[in-house]
Amino acid sequence: MKLFKFTLFILTLCAGFISAHAQQSNNYPVKPIRLVVPFPAGGPTDQFARQYAQVLSNQLGKPVVVDNKSGASGAIGSLEVKNSAPDGYTLLFGTASTHVLYNLINAKPQYDSIKDFTEIAVVGDAPIVFAVSPATKGGFKELLEYARINPGKLQYGSAGEGTYLHIVGERLKYELGGLDIQHIPFRGSAQSIPALIGNQVNMTVDTLGSLINQHRAGNLRIVAIASPKRSPLIPDVPTVNEVTGLKDFQAALWNIVSAPQGLSPDITNTLILATTKTLKNPELLDKLNSISIQPISNITGVAATSFIAKELVSLRPVVQSAGLKKE
């Protein structure tokens, strides 16, 4: 009899837990959602995240608050989300830096981008460009020729060591036969762009959206874009392939929305549906187009996880060739 009563008690507890969990999932969200951006305010990821959060708030009927937690090329904010409760109220606005390069570069990573997150969706990407300081003479071709003749004398900046922007710079050097251009890491685009304008570095690698206004104002010059075709926003700027003769040099900074591993299927599906609708919002599309971001609305859930796995395979040789793997 005692065993029967104990079993009945356990079953009652489990039923109550399941009922409460189901009710929580069905009512989600009941409070504001925190969207962690693991990079400083003002950069391309932050700009995109804020536009996304505003429209997502309308879709879900609750505020989505952007929280910048920068440091360690995005790892600090990513770890905070990874260690948060899988209840749908803490999300990560990640990039290739947080979901691919962190695991490729660090010898003992503190999280696994495949195992430790529930992926909601790859939400968009932004073309990457190369820009030079006002004091730099000539275009992209002249700069590369100078680098060949004067190894080690040029410097390029990026938003941080181990970021995707850094990897794109190293990939260019590698594919052009090992050009010797020194990398200078900064803490986000908010620091690297002023450094370029102030002639502290000769060149920088960043997104088109981050640099186009400064380019138009004459504070810096975009000299090449890492896209298959020229951009209609800067039609006079050639592609990297045009200038260098490379066949397929393409790079775009993509963003992904993730939750801690263990998020319930109901909440996951709610977020996927809301995100898909968000990325089709006409006002959002206009705003993203103005900062040269192309929304993506068809890589969600398991497909988003597969996307990351493919990127890990694709970028591993670049990281190894650049000697960026930490011991």
Sketch the domain layout of the chain as residue ranges.
Answer: 6-125+254-321, 127-244
Better-predicted residue by pLDDT, 117 or 126: 117
What pLDDT does residue 23 have?
41
How far apart are alpha carbons 17 and 309 in whole angstroms? 34
Please state which of the ranges 9-18, 126-135, 268-277, 305-314 shows the lowest mean pLDDT. Answer: 9-18
Q: 6-15 long-range contacts, Cβ below 8 Å, gap at least 24?
A: none
Cis ω on the peptide bond leading into residue 317 (within 30° of 0)?
no
What mean pLDDT comes out for the span 207-230?
Answer: 95
How far apart are alpha carbons 132 and 199 in whole angstroms? 9
Q: What are the C-alpha distances in Å from 27 to residues 22, 58, 62, 300?
A: 9, 16, 12, 22
| pLDDT confidence band for 17 (50 / 70 / 90) | very low
Radius of gyration of the chain (CA): 22
* CATH code for the structural domain at 6-125+254-321: 3.40.190.150
What mean pLDDT comes out for the span 182-201?
Answer: 94
| pLDDT confidence band for 135 (50 / 70 / 90) | confident
What pLDDT does residue 1 have?
53
What mean pLDDT comes out for the span 190-196?
Answer: 95
What pLDDT does residue 71 have?
85
What mean pLDDT comes out for the span 20-45?
Answer: 80
Q: Which residues contact 60 (CB under 8 A, 6 or more apart)?
A: 29, 33, 270, 274
Is pLDDT above 50 for 304?
A: yes
What pLDDT does residue 25 have?
54
Alpha helices, DSSP H only, in the chain?
Answer: 2-27, 44-60, 75-82, 96, 102-105, 140-149, 164-175, 189-197, 208-217, 240-244, 265-278, 282-290, 302-321
What pLDDT does residue 69 have?
95
Determine how many CB atoms are found less than 10 A away from the CB of residue 238.
Answer: 17
Same fold, 6-125+254-321 and 127-244: yes
Burial class (CB in 10 A: 0-12, 13-18, 19+), 103: middle
SS3 label, residue 156: strand
Please state which of the ranges 83-87, 232-236, 270-274 shows the lowest mean pLDDT. Answer: 232-236
What pLDDT does residue 154 have?
96
Q: What is the pTM of this model?
A: 0.78
For residue 256, the number of C-alpha atoms closer than 13 Å in the C-beta half-sphere is 31
Please state which of the ranges 39-43, 132-136, 234-238, 253-257 shows the lowest mean pLDDT. Answer: 39-43
Q: Please state, rounded to an integer, the average pLDDT across all residues of the chain.
A: 90
Determine whether domain 127-244 maps to CATH 3.40.190.10: yes
